[in-house]
Amino acid sequence: MIDNVRVFSLAALTLAALVFAVHCSEKDKGTTPTQQVVEMNGALSFPDPDAVDMAEVSVGFGDYESLPDSAGSFRIKGNGGVVGVAMAYTAESVPMLMQVCPNPSQNQQLDLTVRSTAMALAFLDPLICLANPTDATLIIQRLEGLTELDDLEDLLADKLSINPLALGVEDAEIDSTLSRLAMAYFNSYPEDVSRKLASLTGALPQDTRKPTADPPEIDPSYTFGGLKLTWEGGSTYKITNSYGRWCYCCTPTDTLFIFPNGDMLDWIVKDRPFPPSERNFHMSVVAGKDTARVNLFGYGFWSNPTNNWDNLTPEEKSLAHIGGITTVVMELFTQVVSAVCNVPRAFGNEKVAQLWKKSGWDFLVSDSRVIQRIEAYIRANNPTGCAWWLTKQVISRAVTSAEYRATLAQMAGITLTDGMLKKLGGWLLVPAKVVIASNNLSSVFKTVLGLSDSYHATRFKVWRDFTAFGAISGQVATKSNGVGIQGAIVKITGDENNPLNPPHEKTTDAQGYFRFENIGVGERSITASKTGYNSATVGVTVVENKTVTANLQLEVQSGGLSGKVLNDIYTHNSVSPANFTGTVDITANEIGGQHRVSNSFAFDGTFSLNLPVGSWWVVASHDDYKPDSFSVVIPADGNASPPRDLALVPDPVMTGQIYINTDNQGSYELNFTLNLSQV
């Protein structure tokens, strides 16, 4: 069962440097890694010097190491102008004393004492640490003014007097005292920061440029969950990020990271907001077309029924993990890495957002055990515990994959040396942790982190309304002869969201004409259809207060009909083939419909017709034979087969006059007329 507390292991967090470069505190620009090496003097002051053998103690500062003399004095190198941590440790790399150095300089004096160690334990909490000399100095000054630091110093003095290696031992008393110090720090900032933060929603600078065209509708049109979508003109849109978290953005045509600007804690430390980050993208939004959707995903812990993790689809949850994991690592842990390793990050957030790919987190997102644990923290509304546990998973994979370390280090623009890895490994041995109940975090602090006023999925809708209208007129005619077709159905598409709701379907008049009124301007499609014809579609651009013409021509639907005409005389006398020789008239009469007639011929017993779709009566005829016929239906999707062969039966006629002389007297007493209809 995961309780609702936030737990950070300073040891675990620090080793995140194995996979991630150091955070740049100069907004999102990054730092050029060209540090000047300085040499500093130092001294170690243990509560009980007699309990420590100086011969077994080493001092490290970033990539450098030194051995103190018997009195605890030492001289050590470091990168000037870059926050660093001096650490005294045993041969087994267990830290004994520490000191934060905000701005190393030549011949600077380092004094590693119990108080400097207490300060370092608090400073290196990922929620406190900032790896910029100016910011680090401000943090140390504020910590110095807290009585809780005195309490931690006194406790550590007692612990280290008994055991010089107390920092390497699990100790609930140290955890509790350190947590009270961290909480006092978080809640020490003035209330007016909260008021400033509360006024941020909807208070971003407004674009005063006059648009060159009617802007699209955007919902919501205000800052929502720290994010705002605006139209920049044409197909360009901009996402503004006011909070210190990363999001993974999905547009209709692209995906991209939305990064924070400045340090995540600028609101807290500097008592003023950092400028929101901005990132542009392109998409087409056409009036009357489907609404475009822009969705941004990440970890958000706004207590609202609409922000329910289980309402997300599996794909949306995966995308939220991408944004959330990036936030946890890039915005918190890299600060600690910078201090321990005494190196800056070479690339700023903007470049990392361009270089980094969604697939970079596949090794975590594809691990069902990891995802189930993270989602348990999410459902418990415990983002701080989630961040601590997730860091351990990143570390466990980083330390087992040199290839993965190298890839991420190259992407972030920093190479971690063996000396740096040794300091990180030593810091990993410090089990001291800060335990913070989420509801104890000041509202200012939580909101700046994007914990309490953001959503797992922030959704924007973009569309264009119709603001101008025109008309379309035209004629539907037969392609073969240009004659207008009466009763054709004409439909218009692309105008579905027209607020005037005009008719989008018309029937042509007796001459085939049609007309549409109050159609929204822009590209539309016109389709005409009628039974027995192939439908046709044309595109048209509607112009404001104009009538545009759209004429359509329809081809008559037709199908093939092939068959035979047989001669019954051949069939009766077993002559093969029995095809009728010579020419036979073939007449096709449409049954119903337009009563069309098609005339053709059969040559040597075969015929082939191309008839419009419909029902037909096909007749074969010859002067000396009886006609034969059948009915057939021509389908719209292909040829028809005759139901049988046509067979012509002879139809001879004999006519004449017969005279009979019965008495041989030279006259004909009888006279007959012959009219034989069949012989």
Is the pLDDT confidence value at 409 over 50? yes
Predicted confidence at residue 40, as pLDDT, reads 97
Is the pLDDT confidence value at 560 over 70? yes
pLDDT band at residue 141 under the 50/70/90 scheme? very high
Question: What are the backbone dihedrals phi and psi of residue 517, each rounded to the nearest 5 degrees, phi first?
Answer: -115, 155
Predicted confidence at residue 589, as pLDDT, reads 95
**Is 622 within 8 Å of 584 (Cβ atoms)?**
yes
**Is 175 within 8 Å of 158 (Cβ atoms)?**
no
| Average pLDDT value for residue range 236-241 | 93
Cα–Cα dist 257/460, whole Å: 16
Q: How many residues does the structure list for the chain? A: 679
Of 203 and 92, more confident: 92
pLDDT band at residue 331 under the 50/70/90 scheme? confident
Mean confidence (pLDDT) of the chain: 81
Predicted confidence at residue 389, as pLDDT, reads 76
| Average pLDDT value for residue range 670-678 | 65
Predicted confidence at residue 294, as pLDDT, reads 97
293: region left, alpha or beta (phi > 0 left; psi from -120 to 50 alpha): beta
| Average pLDDT value for residue range 58-65 | 93
> What contacts 24+ positions apart, CB below 8 Å, involve 217-221?
217/462, 217/463, 217/464, 217/465, 218/460, 218/461, 218/462, 219/460, 219/461, 219/462, 220/460
Is the pLDDT confidence value at 73 over 80? yes
Is the pLDDT confidence value at 257 over 80? yes
Lowest-pLDDT range of 24-33, 75-84, 178-187, 320-329 = 24-33
Cα–Cα dist 197/191, whole Å: 10
Residue the block writes with tokens 């594809």: 366
pLDDT band at residue 9 under the 50/70/90 scheme? very low
Least Cα distance to 606 among 578, 643, 579, 630 occurs for: 579
Predicted confidence at residue 615, as pLDDT, reads 92
Of 333 and 297, more confident: 297
Which pTM does this prediction carry?
0.60
Predicted confidence at residue 262, as pLDDT, reads 60
Domains along the sequence of the chain with CATH: 39-193 (2.60.40.1120), 469-555 (2.60.40.10), 561-654 (2.60.40.1120)
Q: How far is CA 103 from the centre of its chain?
A: 42
Side chain identity at 467, as an amino acid letter? T
HEC letters along 59-82: EEECCEEECCCCCCEEEEEEECCC
- Percent of the chain exceeding pLDDT 70 equals 75
Predicted confidence at residue 498, as pLDDT, reads 82
Beta strands in 397-498 (DSSP E): 433-437, 457-463, 469-478, 489-493
Question: What is the maximal distance between C-alpha atoms in the chain?
Answer: 179
Highest mean pLDDT among 117-131, 187-201, 344-358, 535-549: 535-549
The pLDDT tens digits of the residues spanning 439-491 come to: 555 554 555 556 667 899 999 999 887 778 999 999 999 998 899 999 999 99
Residue the block writes with tokens 């060159």: 212
Predicted confidence at residue 225, as pLDDT, reads 86
The pLDDT tens digits of the residues spanning 91-133 come to: 888 899 999 999 999 999 999 999 999 999 999 887 778 788 9
Question: What are the backbone dihedrals phi and psi of residue 456, each rounded to the nearest 5 degrees, phi first?
Answer: -60, -35
Predicted confidence at residue 98, as pLDDT, reads 95
- CA angle 481-486-488, nearest 5°? 100
Name the 3-class secondary structure at 294. Answer: strand
| Average pLDDT value for residue range 421-437 | 62
The pLDDT tens digits of the residues spanning 150-183 come to: 999 999 999 999 999 999 888 889 989 998 998 8
Is the pLDDT confidence value at 420 over 60? yes
> What contacts 24+ positions apart, CB below 8 Å, involve 585-591?
585/620, 585/621, 585/622, 586/618, 586/619, 586/620, 587/618, 587/619, 587/621, 588/561, 588/616, 588/617, 588/618, 588/619, 589/616, 589/617, 589/619, 590/614, 590/615, 590/616, 591/615, 591/616, 591/617, 591/631
Highest mean pLDDT among 138-147, 175-184, 629-638: 138-147
Is the pLDDT confidence value at 204 over 70? no
Predicted confidence at residue 405, as pLDDT, reads 64
Cα–Cα dist 13/39, whole Å: 28
